[in-house]
Amino acid sequence: MKIFKLFLIIFFIFPINDLKADNEILKNKITKNLRCLICQGQSVYDSDSEFANSLKIVVDSKIDEGLSEKQIYSYFQSKYGEWILYDPLFNRNTYFLWLLPLLIFFVGGAIIFNKFIKKP
């Protein structure tokens, strides 16, 4: 019976710890991608301002509610606009930003191909 109880304790404690560690990693990841709007140049993760501390609590509770990373980002975006995200989303305003490096890569590749590979 004792062994059975011990087994039950181990069985229930370990997954919870794993879950909490996962939540902490996710929370850190999300707060690193949120801009502290009242302290320029710092993420919410780095900042210890009143605003950032409240935001960390909200991120925690949203994770507990079961919201996904994307849903949490869109929640903050709806409250503060896209500026709060360090990683800009792919939309009409950012097509140029996201596609320009790819365009340069392909044009550059085409020039290199034409000059050095095709000629000889």
Partner 1 sequence: MKNKLLPFSIVLIFITIFIIFYKGLQDTNIYTPEVKTNYEVPSVSVELFDSGKIVNTLEIFNTDKFYLLNIWSSWCVPCRQEHLILMDLIKNDNLKIIGINYKDTKKNAKKFLEELGNPYDKIIFDNDGTNAIEWGAYGVPESFLINKNKIIKKYIGPLSKESMEEIKLFIK
Site for partner 1, rule CB under 8 A: 37-38, 40, 50-51, 53-55, 57-58, 61, 79-81, 83
Nearer to partner 1, 51 or 98 (CB): 51
Q: Is the four-CA dihedral 79, 83, 84, 85 of positive or negative sign?
A: positive
Task: In angstroms, give the least distance from the CB of 17 to partner 1.
Answer: 25
How far apart, in whole angstroms, are the C-alpha atoms of residue 25 and residue 40?
24
Nearer to partner 1, 8 or 118 (CB): 118
Nearer to partner 1, 26 or 37 (CB): 37
Tally of CB atoms within 10 A around 58: 15
Task: In angstroms, give the least distance from the CB of 117 to partner 1.
Answer: 18
CA atoms within 13 A on the CB side of 94: 10
